[in-house]
Amino acid sequence: MDNSTPPPGGFKGGLGSIFGGGTPEYSNTELSGVPLTGMSPLSPYLNVDPRYLIQDTDEFILPTGANKTRGRFELAFFTIGGCCITGAAFGTLNGLRMGLSETRDMPWSKPRNVQILNMVTRQGASWANTLGSVALLYSVFGVAIEKARGAEDDLNTVAAGTLTGMVFKSTGGLKGVARGGLIGLAMSGLYALYNNWDHLKGKSPSHY
Amino acid sequence: MEEYAREPCPWRIVDDCGGAFTMGAIGGGVFQTVKGFRNAPVGVRHRLRGSANAVRVRAPQIGGSFAVWGGLFSTIDCGLVRLRGKEDPWNSITSGAMTGAILAARSGPLAMVGSAMMGGILLALIEGFGILLTRYTAQQFQNSSPIVEDPKQLPPKEEARGYGQYQ
C-alpha cells in the first residue's frame, strides 16, 4: 500500500515523539502512537524502538556472595594516602607559621626566605610521615583483626584504634601505652559512633 | 578477596600515595630491623632495642620518600591522561621520567637527566612486564577447538579435563 501516508494517529504520534523533546514520556497514549513495524523515526529497519533499551547505568552485576561496599583492605591505601596528604598540608601551614614567627625581626632577604622555606618543608614532611605511620598501623591492625575474627563490624575499628594508640605511644613505658590506648579508644569510638549515626537515630538509609 | 582495581583519576593520586607509603614503610622497616640489629652494641637487649629504635625513626622517613614519589608520579600521570585524552603505557613511562627529573632538580641538570632516564627505564620495564603478563594470562582463557559432529571422535569420558577447557 501507500506507506508514505501513514494513519493520522500514527503520524501525529511520530511527530510528537520527534518534536516533544529529548525525554519522551511513555504513557499509554504516547505508546499507542509509536509505530513498531518498520515505521520508527530512527530507522525504517528497526523492529524495536531502541529507547526501550536504555538502562540505569548505576546498576552493578554482583556475583553471588559478593558485597557491594569496598572492604577494609581496599580502603587501606586510600586511608594512608589521605592521611599523608592531610598531614603534609597541615604541617606546611604549621611550618609557615613557625617560620614567620621565628624570623619576625629579620628583614625580607635571602636568609629569611631560606629559613621559612626550610621550616615549611621540614614540618610538612614530619607531619606527613607521622600521620602516615599512624594510618598504616591502623590499617594493618584493622585488616589483621578482620581476618582473625572473620567479621566486619565496628569492633574491628575500635580494636584497631586502641592497638594503634598503644603501639604508637609504647616508647613512653606502661604509662604511655595506657594513655595511647585511651586516646585510640576514644577517637575510634567517636568514628564508629559517627559511622553508625543513621542507625542510632532510627533513620533507614537509602544508599545501602 | 576481590580483584584490586585502580581508582580513576583523581582519586588514584591518593591511592597510589598510600600504596607507596605502605611499601616504603614496611620494606624500609624490614631493612632497618637488620641494620639496627647489626649496628647496636653487643648484647641481645641492646640489639633488640637498636632494631626497634631504627625502625621507629627511619621507617616513616623511607615511607615518606616513597609516598612523595608515588604521589608525584600519579599526579603527572593523571595530568597526562587529561592532556592526551588516552591511557597507555607511554603515560606511565613519561610520568616516571618526569618524576625522577623533578625530584633531582636540586642536584643540577645533569642529575636530572640521569634520574629521568632511570625513571623512564624502570617504568618501561614495569609496563613491559605487565604487557607480557597480560598476554600470558589471556592465553589461559582461549577456547579449544569446536566439537565435531560425530560423538565417537570425542575423547573418553573417564579422562579428566583441564581448567582451560571449555566444552
pLDDT digits (tens, 9 = 90+) for B63-93: 888 888 788 888 888 898 878 787 778 888 8
What pLDDT digit, counting tens, does each position of A117-135 carry?
888 887 888 888 888 888 8
Does residue A6 lie within any of the structural domains? Answer: no
Q: How many CB atoms lie within 10 A of CB A141?
A: 20
Residue B18 in grid coordinates: 598510600
What range defines the domain where residue A92 resides? Answer: 70-148
B95-103 mean pLDDT: 87
Contact in structure between B10 and B78 (CB atoms under 8 Å): yes
For the stretch B57-80, what's the b/e string if a residue is b when 16 or more beta carbons lie within 10 angstroms of its beta carbon?
A: ebbbbbbbbbbbbbbbbbbbbbbb
Q: Work out the burial of residue B35: count CB atoms within 10 Å of its CB; fewer than 13 is exposed, 13-18 middle, 19 or more buried.
A: middle
Last residue of a domain, one of A109, A126, A148: A148
CB contact under 8 A, B64 and A132: yes
Question: CA-to-CA distance for A170 and A168, rounded, in angstroms?
Answer: 6
Question: CA-to-CA distance for B38 and B47, rounded, in angstroms?
Answer: 7
Residues A134 and A187 in one domain: no
A43-57 mean pLDDT: 63
Last residue of a domain, one of A148, A163, A181: A148
CB contact under 8 A, B18 and A73: no
3-state secondary structure of B7: coil
Higher pLDDT, A107 or B142: A107
Does residue A5 lie within any of the structural domains? Answer: no
Residues A143 and A117 in one domain: yes
Give the per-residue pLDDT at B142. Answer: 62
Does residue A92 lie within any of the structural domains? Answer: yes
B96-122 mean pLDDT: 86
Question: CA-to-CA distance for A152 and B145, rounded, in angstroms?
Answer: 45
CB contact under 8 A, A132 and B2: no
Please state the domain extents for chain B.
7-85, 88-131
For the stretch A165-196, what's the b/e string if a residue is b when 16 or more beta carbons lie within 10 angstroms of its beta carbon?
A: bbbbbeeeeeeebeebbebbbebbeeebeeee
Which candidate from B4, B17, B60 shows the least CB-CB separation from A129?
B60
CB contact under 8 A, A125 and B64: yes
Give the per-residue pLDDT at A69. Answer: 56
Does residue A13 lie within any of the structural domains? Answer: no
Residue A1 in grid coordinates: 500500500
CB contact under 8 A, B63 and A132: yes
Contacts of B59 in chain A (CB under 8 A): 133
Give the per-residue pLDDT at A92. Answer: 86
What pLDDT digit, counting tens, does each position of A168-199 carry?
777 778 778 887 888 888 878 887 877 776 66
Residues A158 and A184 in one domain: yes
Contacts of B61 in chain A (CB under 8 A): 129
Does residue A141 lie within any of the structural domains? Answer: yes
Residues A122 and A167 in one domain: no
Short-list A42, A43, A33, A45, CA closest to A7: A33
A33 phi and psi angles, rounded to 5 deg: -90, -5
Contact in structure between A41 and A12 (CB atoms under 8 Å): no
CB contact under 8 A, B63 and A79: no
What pLDDT digit, counting tens, does each position of B139-152 carry?
766 666 665 556 66
pLDDT band at A47 (very low <50, low <70, confident <90, very high): low
Residue A77 in grid coordinates: 591505601
Work out how many domains chain A is built from and give that number: 2
Give the per-residue pLDDT at B4. Answer: 45
From A131, which residue of chain B is nearest by alpha-carbon distance? Answer: B60
Question: CA-to-CA distance for B45 and A75, rounded, in angstroms?
Answer: 37
Does residue A139 lie within any of the structural domains? Answer: yes
Does residue A105 lie within any of the structural domains? Answer: yes
B130-143 mean pLDDT: 74
Residue A73 in grid coordinates: 583492605
Give the per-residue pLDDT at A13. Answer: 44
Give the per-residue pLDDT at B73. Answer: 87
B2-7 mean pLDDT: 51
Q: Over 60: is that where the pLDDT of A137 sits?
A: yes
The answer to whether residue A76 neighbours chain B at the CB level (below 8 Å) is yes
Mean pLDDT over each residue of chain A, to the nearest integer: 71
3-state secondary structure of B121: helix
Q: Over 80: is that where the pLDDT of A155 sits?
A: no
B105-116 mean pLDDT: 86
The answer to whether residue B71 neighbours chain A at the CB level (below 8 Å) is yes
Short-list A200, A179, A118, A189, CA closest to A159: A189
A52-57 mean pLDDT: 59
Q: Over 60: is that where the pLDDT of A86 sits?
A: yes
Å from A151 to nearest chain B CA? 14
The answer to whether residue B116 neighbours chain A at the CB level (below 8 Å) is no
What pLDDT digit, counting tens, does each position of A9-44 carry?
444 444 444 444 555 556 666 666 655 555 456 666
Å from A196 to nearest chain B CA? 25
